[in-house]
Amino acid sequence: MHFSPDSNVLWKTVIPAGHSSPVIWNNHIFLTAYEPASDKELITLAIDRGDGKTLWRRVVQSETKVRFHPLNNPASSTPAADGSTVYVYFGTYGLLCYDHDGNGLWQRKIDTPRSKYGMATSPILYEEKVILVLDGDGGTSRLLAVNRDTGETVWEQPRSLFKAGWSTPVIWRRREVEELVVLGSKRLTSYDPSTGAEIWWAGGFPQETVGVPVTGDGLLFAGAAALGGRGDDKLDAAATWKITIDEFDRDHDNQIQRDEMTKGFAFIQRPELPKDNPGYGLPIRNMDTLLRIFDHDKNRIISEGEWMKTMSGFAAMSRPNLAAIRPGAREDARQSHVAWEIHRGIPETSSLLYCKGRLYLMRDGGLLTCLQASTGKELFRERIGATGQYIASPIAAGDKLVVASVRGTVTVIQVDDKLNVLARNDFAEKIFATPAVAENKIYLRTAGHLYALGE
C-alpha cells in the first residue's frame, strides 16, 4: 500500500482546520471544523465521497471562550451518524442534529465542562439515544443521554468522582447483554445504556484518560498513560538527565547551575518527542520555581542525584495501566474480573486496536507493541521507523494496519506476530485525525486537506 500526495489519490479537497475524524455513511463524509482566526465559527461539513466536493456547510457561533491545549481545538470531537441524521458535539456550544441534506433538526446547548485542555470526547449512538460523556473538573462530571429525534434528556447520570477526561465511551455487546463503558480519571466504569445505572467499576487507572476502550476475544481492553504521557511503569530518569546535561551543562561539571538554566530548560516529560513539540517538557515561566523543585540542598545547583530523586518522585505520582476485563462483573471488578494487565508501552492519546486476536498499542516516538489479546503476552515491541507524536489511532484495513504520525507519515504494517513494515508515505502535513476505511478506500484528513486514497 504505497500512496502519497502524488500517487493513488482519487481526489483531494481543501478543508478547514479541525482534528475530528471523517465519518462515512453511504456517499457522505461528515466532519467538524472551525475558523482558527477566532475559534468562534464552528463548522459541520458534508463531503461527497465520490468526488470530494462539499455537499453542504453549516456554521454556529461559539458562545464560550475556552483555552485549548496547543494539540487540541474546538473541532476535536468526531460526529456520529445513522441512516438519516448526523449528530455533532462542539464543547463550546453543545449538541447539533442535521439530516443528511444539511437541514437542522434540533440543537441542545450544553455548558462547557471545566478542563485545562479543552474538550475532545465524541457522542455515540445507542438505540434511540445519543450518549455523551461530560467529564470536567470541579465536581461537574456527568453522563447525558438525549433522544435522537428531539434532543430532550432521556437520562442523566452524575459522575462526581471524576475529573476532566477526553475519552469517548463504547458499547460492549455480547449476546443479549449490552453495557456502556466509560474510561475516566482513575477508573473504568460500566453503565446500563438504557437507564444510566452503574453496573461495575475497576480502579487502578491514571488521572488523565484519552483513548477509547476496545473489545475482542470476549474481553474489554482499556488503557491510559501515566501523568506526563509516560507509557512505561519505569521512568527513564537517566535519559532525561543526559538530554539536560548535553544541552545546558556549559562548564561540563555534570551539574546544572542556576545561570545554566536558560531559555528552553524544562522538566522533561516526553523525551521521545522533539524539543519543540507541545508536551515535551512542562512549561516553566519562572526558572527559580523549577530550581526549588529539584534543588533539595538549596545550593542553587541541580546535581545528578537530585535530578534522579525528583524524577523518581514524579513517576510515583501516576502509573500507566492497560487492563483486560472479563464479562459478567458486578460492582467492584478489580479483583474478580481483570483477566490480565500490563504497565508498558501504553499510548497516551491514540486508542488501542484489536485485530485478528492481537492488540496493538501505538506510542509516541513510533513505538508499536503487539500483544496476544487473550493473555496479554507480548509478541513484539519495536519502532516502526516513523518518529514523532501519534494522536491519530491505528486502524485495520483488511490484513494491514494503517498508522499516521502527527508529522504526516502514514505507515502501513502487515498484521502479524512480528513487525513487517510494508510502506511509509509522507503527506508533508500534520495529521491528528484517525483515518477511515470504506470499500477498499482510505479517507485521510491532514491539517488542510481530505484525501481519498485507493487503486
Query: In CATH, what number is assigned to the domain containing residue 72?
Result: 2.40.128.630
The pLDDT tens digits of the residues spanning 43-58 come to 999 999 999 999 999 9
Return the pLDDT at 313: 87
Report yes or no: 34 and 60 within 8 Å, Cβ to Cβ.
no
What pLDDT does 4 receive? 65
**How many CA atoms does the CB half-sphere of 253 hold within 13 Å?**
8
Q: Is the pLDDT of residue 1 over 70?
A: no
Q: pLDDT tens for residues 362-374?
A: 999 999 999 999 9
Residue 2 has pLDDT above 80, yes or no: no
Which residue, among 112, 94, 96, has the nearest Cα to 104 in the 3D structure?
Answer: 96
Same domain for 112 and 18, yes or no, is: yes
Across 20-34, average pLDDT:
98
Residue 104, domain extent: 1-120
Q: Residue written as cell 500517487?
A: 7
As for how many domains the chain has, the answer is: 3
pLDDT tens digit sequence for 223-276: 999 998 999 998 889 999 999 999 999 999 999 999 999 988 988 889 888 888
Same domain, 279 and 379: no
Q: What is the CATH number of the domain that holds 255?
A: 1.10.238.10
Q: DSSP code of 327? A: S
Q: E strands, 116-152, where?
A: 124-126, 129-134, 142-147
Q: Is residue 402 part of a domain?
A: yes
Residues with Cβ within 8 Å of residue 145, at least 6 apart in sequence: 126, 129, 130, 131, 132, 153, 154, 155, 156, 193, 196
The pLDDT of residue 39 is 79
% residues pLDDT > 70 (the chain): 99
Report whether pLDDT(3) > 70. Answer: no
Pair (10, 111) in one structural domain: yes
**Ordered alpha helix ranges (H), 264-303:** 287-294
Within 267-336, strands assigned E span 267-268, 281-282, 301-303, 321-325, 331-332
pTM: 0.94
Whether 162 is covered by a domain: the verdict is no
Q: Compute the distance between CA of residue 380 and CA of residue 203 in angstroms, rounded to an integer.
A: 27
Averaged pLDDT, 318-336: 96
- pLDDT tens per residue, range 108-159: 999 999 999 999 999 999 999 999 999 999 999 999 999 999 999 999 999 9
Burial classification of residue 198, based on how many CB atoms lie within 10 Å of its CB (0-12 exposed, 13-18 middle, 19 or more buried):
middle
pLDDT value at residue 279 = 85
**What pLDDT is attached to residue 285?**
81
115 and 59 share one domain: yes
Same domain, 5 and 112: yes
**pLDDT at residue 357 greater than cutoff 80:** yes
* Residue 211, domain member (yes or no): no
Residue 375 lies in a domain: yes
Is 332 part of any domain?
Answer: no
Q: Report d(CA 291, CA 351) in Å as an integer.
A: 36
**Pair 357, 308 in one domain:** no
The reply to whether 132 falls in a domain is no
Rounded to whole angstroms, how far apart are CA atoms 207 and 319? 9
Segment 54-101, tens digit of pLDDT: 999 999 999 888 889 999 999 999 999 999 999 999 999 999 999 999
pLDDT at 37: 87
Give the mean model confidence (pLDDT) for residues 205-222.
97
Cβ within 8 Å of residue 385, ≥6 positions away: 366, 411, 421, 424
